[in-house]
């Protein structure tokens, strides 16, 4: 169906590494979108000796960049006029459209950006449109969604699904290696987003499965701590979602959130929209949707997605946790 693409890099290893010595020392880097993820990437680049400019619509995010040694600029177009390589980390299609139109509007004479690394989780159609528009002004775009939370970057636990031009990727790979050594090359532009959707589809299910499992355990009179201790490390059913989210479910504490329900709802929509676009029945994923919707309805919007355990526990008649979101 699709050609198998051998990984360009799937090395594993811990944490950030200096890349200033790896041939990109003189490259000016811009980060557009300085939220939790973009801000973390900017800081990691600064910490490894790179010059970083950036922009965010939020003044406090620009201030944070300044505080950590970066150079905040007044707009996306100012970043594109300054940085050879731009990383985008954006929360919505509207933001991506705005950034792209401003970069395109800079004009070839002032435009300095040659490679744009799009790291957001956004619908593929919108990412394709962005790539085409940027190509017309000579920018090579890479589709490189990130799997992992900002906190976990320091543990070297991110995976970046790199897709697009191999030549462009080779050029900027040392930058991505500042964030993680796990940068599998997954093929043509867009495959990165597809792989991210595969990962998120499983995470969506595994998280509700963990919540259902621990609710079932409680209803049978088992100690949920013992259940998690037994199955979290199991070579058969153990996985990172069960271990990370399961610990919050056992404690019934969902703050601080590694992924807020309200943010995750955007990712759920992207998965569901893609499934519809490619005519794929996803009955298991579909049965998770009402559980996340219920979490929103029950005041858990800013709680971690592990809080779906409260939805199922509530359905099961288990008394509400004393302090379920913090």
3-state DSSP call for residue 147? Answer: strand
Nearer to a copy of itself, 15 or 102 (CB): 15
Q: Decide: helix, strand or coil at residue 7.
A: coil
Residues 6+ apart with CB under 8 A from 218: 224, 313, 316, 318
Shortest gap between Cβ of 25 and a copy of itself (angstroms)? Answer: 31
Q: What is the C-alpha separation between 53 and 21, in angstroms, rounded? A: 19
Q: Find the shortest distance in angstroms from Cβ 303 to a copy of itself.
A: 20
Q: What is the DSSP string of 154-184?
A: TTT--EE-BBS-HHHHHHHHHHHHHH-S---
Smaller CB separation from a copy of itself, 84 or 216: 216
Residue with smaller CB distance to a copy of itself, 71 or 243: 243
DSSP codes joined into one string, 87-101: EE--SSHHHHHHHHH
| Residue 178 · residue 19 · CB < 8 Å | yes
Distances (CA, A) of 241 to 121, 156, 209: 19, 17, 10
Q: Are 100 and 92 in contact (CB under 8 A)?
A: no
Work out how close the CB of 92 gets to a copy of itself at its nearest, in angstroms, rounded to a whole number: 22
Q: Are 300 and 261 in contact (CB under 8 A)?
A: yes
C-beta of 203: minimal distance to a copy of itself in Å?
Answer: 6
At its nearest, how many Å lie between a copy of itself and the CB of residue 312? 7
Closer of 158 and 254 to a copy of itself (Cβ): 158
C-beta closer to a copy of itself: residue 40 or 78: 40
Q: State in angstroms the smallest separation of the CB of 130 from a copy of itself.
A: 19
Question: What are the DSSP E strand ranges found in 99-158?
Answer: 115-118, 140-143, 146-147
144 with 119: CB under 8 angstroms? yes
DSSP 48-101: TT--EEEE-SSHHHHHHHHHTT-EE-SSHHHHHTT-SEEEE--SSHHHHHHHHH
CB-nearer residue toward a copy of itself: 168 or 208: 208
Q: Which is nearer to a copy of itself, 114 or 190 (CB)?
A: 190
C-beta of 87 vs 312, nearer to a copy of itself: 312
Q: How far is the CB of 278 from a copy of itself (least distance, A)?
A: 4
C-alpha–C-alpha distance, residues 283 and 170, integer Å:
39
Least separation, in Å, of the C-beta of 97 and a copy of itself?
23
């Amino acid at each position: 169906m699709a050609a198998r693409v051998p990984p360009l890099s799937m090395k594993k290893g811990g944490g950030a590494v200096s890349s200033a010595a790896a041939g990109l020392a003189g490259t000016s880097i811009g980060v557009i979108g300085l939220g939790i993820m973009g801000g973390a990437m900017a800081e990691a680049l600064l910490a490894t000796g790179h010059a970083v400019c950036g922009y965010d619509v939020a003044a406090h995010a620009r201030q944070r960049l300044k505080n950590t040694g970066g150079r905040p600029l007044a707009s996306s177009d100012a970043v594109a006029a300054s940085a050879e390589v731009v990383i985008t980390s954006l929360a919505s299609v509207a933001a991506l459209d705005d950034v792209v139109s401003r970069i395109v509007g800079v004009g070839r004479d002032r435009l300095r950006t040659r490679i744009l690394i799009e790291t957001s989780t956004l619908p593929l159609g919108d990412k394709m449109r962005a790539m085409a528009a940027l190509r017309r002004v000579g920018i090579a775009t890479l589709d490189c969604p990130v799997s992992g939370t900002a906190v976990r970057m320091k543990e070297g636990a991110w995976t970046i699904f790199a897709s697009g031009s191999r030549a462009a990727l080779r050029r900027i790979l040392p930058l991505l290696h500042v964030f993680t050594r796990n940068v599998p090359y997954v093929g043509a532009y867009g495959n990165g987003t597809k792989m991210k959707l595969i990962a998120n589809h499983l995470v969506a299910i595994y998280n509700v499965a963990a919540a259902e499992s621990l609710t079932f355990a409680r209803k049978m009179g088992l100690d949920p701590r013992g259940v998690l201790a037994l199955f979290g490390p199991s070579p058969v059913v153990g996985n990172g979602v069960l271990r990370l989210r399961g610990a919050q479910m056992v404690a019934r504490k969902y703050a601080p959130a590694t992924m807020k329900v309200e943010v995750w709802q955007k990712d759920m929509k992207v998965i569901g929209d893609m499934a519809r676009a490619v005519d794929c029945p996803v009955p298991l994923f579909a049965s998770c949707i009402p559980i996340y919707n219920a979490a929103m309805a029950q005041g858990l919007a800013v709680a971690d997605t592990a809080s779906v355990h409260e939805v199922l526990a509530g359905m099961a008649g288990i008394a509400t946790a004393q302090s379920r979101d913090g």
